[in-house]
Amino acid sequence: MRFTDKVCLVTGGTSGIGRATCIRLGAEGATVVVLGRDAADGDETVDTITKAGGTAIFLACDLAKPKAIAATVKKVVTKYHRVDVLICDAAMMTFEHLVDLPLEKWDLLMQVNLRSLAQLTQLCLPHMPKGSAIVAISSVHAHQTTASVVPYATSKGAMEAFVRGMSRELDFRQIRINAVAPGAVDTPMLWTNPNVKNGVETIDKATVGQPEELAAAIAFMASHEASFIHGTTLAVDGGRLAQL
Active-site residue list: 152
CA–CA gap between residue 178 and residue 135 (Å, rounded): 5
CA–CA gap between residue 175 and residue 172 (Å, rounded): 5
CA separation (Å) from 94 to 188, 192, 196? 14, 11, 13
DSSP codes of every residue in 146-163: -TT-HHHHHHHHHHHHHH
CA–CA gap between residue 14 and residue 119 (Å, rounded): 20
- Give, rounded to a whole angstrom, the gap between the first and last alpha carbons of the chain: 37
- Which of 143, 60, 166 lies closest to 152, judged by CA? 143
CA separation (Å) from 72 to 90, 131, 142? 15, 23, 29
Burial of 23: CB neighbours in 10 Å, binned 0-12, 13-18, 19+: buried
Q: Beta strand pairing status for 85-88 and 132-137?
A: parallel
Q: Beta strand pairing status for 175-182 and 31-36?
A: unpaired
β-partners of residue 132 are 175
